[in-house]
Chain A
Amino acid sequence: MTLAPSPSAASRSLRDRIRRRGRVQSAADRAVLVMHDVAKTYPNGKTALLDVDLVIPEGDFVFLVGPSGAGKSTIIKLLIRDEIATRGQVVLDGQDLARLPRRAVPKIRRKIGIVFQDFKLLPTKSVWENVAFALEVTGSPRRKIRPAVDRVLALVGLTAQRSQIPSQLSGGEQQRTAIARALVHDPRLIIADEPTGNLDPLISWEIIQLLLRINELGVTVLMATHDADVVTALRKRVVALEEGRIIRDEVGGAYHRAD
């Protein structure tokens, strides 16, 4: 893939161009994520990813599928810069993560909202506090925290449960709390790592519906999953990994290759 300037670049305003100076210009300039020729070899010699090329444009909804150990987790770790690619570029919202100084990592993480299989909620804090926590620890002023938290709790439908602690909630409600927390920073990208892995099928569908709604509001969603039924039913873009390589990338795909 060559990195050519976007055709619309010339018509862009001067201010916009100055703002974007220094960022990696690519064919998918409006892409939230560009991975180019990425390889990742861990210090123990195990190669987790090889020749990965992936472009996710703004507003996309992408399923990342593949057996355990295929490299899904490694991709997610690269995106949140928990790991750095051994080779190639990982460009998130125009910034090359490998060249990002350590200081700048927290800022880039605020552009991503992450949702995990095990929710990762703080057990002693209420729903409202768990969501507000994400803003508090990033230094948001208190007057901005209240409306932002109220807004995302309304979006995920947990306004009534705002004062409850996680152990008083159902699994689906806990996951919706985690999604609210992921949304509260207004992220460019939501990464959901097996978000329905701990939930029964009915509740899983609720969570998927919620992610679809968030996607309709314009947030890009990358969802790693094993749930074949969901992937096949929705006919969204499917990126399949196997042994560290992308073996399939098709829009409207099923979980398994249509042979």
Chain B
Amino acid sequence: MIGFVVFSLRRAWQGFWRNALMSIAATATMVLMLVLLAGFWIIQTGLLSALDFTESKVEVVANIKLDAAPAAITELQTRLEAMPEVAGVSFVTREEALARFQQSMREQGREDLTKYLDSNPLTASYEVKLIDPSYATPIADRLREEPAVRNVLDTKDTAQNVKAVTDILRTAGTVILLVIGVIVLFIIVNTIRLAVVARAEEIEIMRLVGASDAFIRWPFVFEGAMVGLLGAGITLGGLYLLSDPIGTFMVDFFRVLPLSFGSLARDLVVLVTSAGLGLGVLGSWLSVRTYLIR
């Protein structure tokens, strides 16, 4: 058994170098495909993070009646925070609301008209962050029935639109990733098949002298694994060298927090290595199978 593994590994190594041009072509294809896969994975991750970020922006704003009792307001906050759909509640006082309004006027370069007012016309409000945008409507409905609440800003349409768009993007992303995966598989299998076809004579001689299927198959499978691992190594090396520009791009483009970046790097190592190894092994297995079934 050990002899068989040593034999297969040795033959795989010889096969890789005896047919160096083919091996390099297969490895290059593997690298290109893995870069494509990794690139799309990065974009997909960025997209999902950006979607999460957008969804977290969906909130319900409840304006509080001017004459509401402070006790009723505090009591409302406690009840809001206890709701499972609610991710967080922040209270905006009347003064803060005025300050925000004034600042936004200043930023837009418009005249601050509030200085002509005798008193602050703005109400205090609760900004309710939700764990999922789909809860916007039921929470808004419940808030409208609260006695202390004057009105609820109608974010129903926004929430539904965001939900619809993010759902479409998520589905499309998954579908495209699957399609790319299948295309990559076909291209890799074909490239490895070329390398196997180039050695058809060797396989024929092996069959004629009475080599068992395992002795014919495994050297090729190991060779495919070598191509896959080498391709994965080159791809990951390249990504590592480019990790700074990629990080900048992701932050600029998707506004992803650096927090999710560590897990992305880990995911990429797992994805690229397993895809390379899996595609290499599967590609050789399928290619050499053609010569064994007789």
Contacts and interface: CB of A to CB of B under 8 A. Distances in A.
Interface of A: 80, 82, 103, 106-110, 112, 114, 120, 122, 124, 133-134, 136-139, 141-142, 181, 185
B7 A136 contact: yes
Given A122-B201, A122-B202, A139 B4 contact: yes
A113 to B, nearest CB: 8
B208 A80 contact: yes
Interface stretch (B68-76, B135-143, B154-162, B210-218): B210-218
B18 interface: yes
A133 B129 CA distance: 72
A114 B208 CA distance: 7
Between B7, B201, B205, B215, the greatest number of chain A beta carbons within 10 A of the residue's beta carbon is seen for B205
Nearest to A82: B294
Interface in B3-33: 3-4, 7, 18
Contacts of A138: 209-212, 215
A109 B210 contact: yes
A230 B207 CA distance: 30
Interface in B110-129: none
Contacts of A122: 201-202, 205
Contacts of A80: 208
Contact of A137 (B3, B18, B209, B294): B209
A109 B206 CA distance: 10
Interface in B192-237: 201-202, 204-213, 215-216
Contact of B210 (A120, A142, A185): A185
Contact of B211 (A82, A120, A137): A137
Contacts of A114: 208
Contacts of A181: 209
21 contacts: A108-B210, A109-B207, A109-B208, A110-B210, A120-B208, A122-B201, A122-B205, A124-B18, A133-B205, A133-B209, A134-B210, A137-B206, A137-B209, A138-B209, A138-B211, A138-B212, A139-B4, A139-B212, A139-B215, A181-B209, A185-B210
Given A82-B294, A139-B7, A142-B3, 13 more contacts: A103-B212, A106-B212, A109-B207, A109-B208, A112-B210, A114-B208, A120-B205, A122-B201, A136-B7, A137-B211, A138-B215, A139-B212, A139-B215
A108 to B, nearest CB: 8
Between A139, A181, A185, the greatest number of chain B beta carbons within 10 A of the residue's beta carbon is seen for A139
Given A136-B7, A138-B210, A120 B215 contact: no
Nearest to A140: B3
Nearest to A187: B210
B14 to A, nearest CB: 9
A82 B207 CA distance: 10
A82 B291 CA distance: 12
B210 A107 contact: yes
B209 A139 contact: no
A234 B88 CA distance: 102
A181 B202 CA distance: 14
Q: Which 6 residue pairs of A and B lie closest in terms of their CB atoms, listed nearest first? A: A109-B210, A110-B210, A137-B211, A134-B209, A106-B212, A106-B210
A189 B206 CA distance: 18
B6 to A, nearest CB: 10
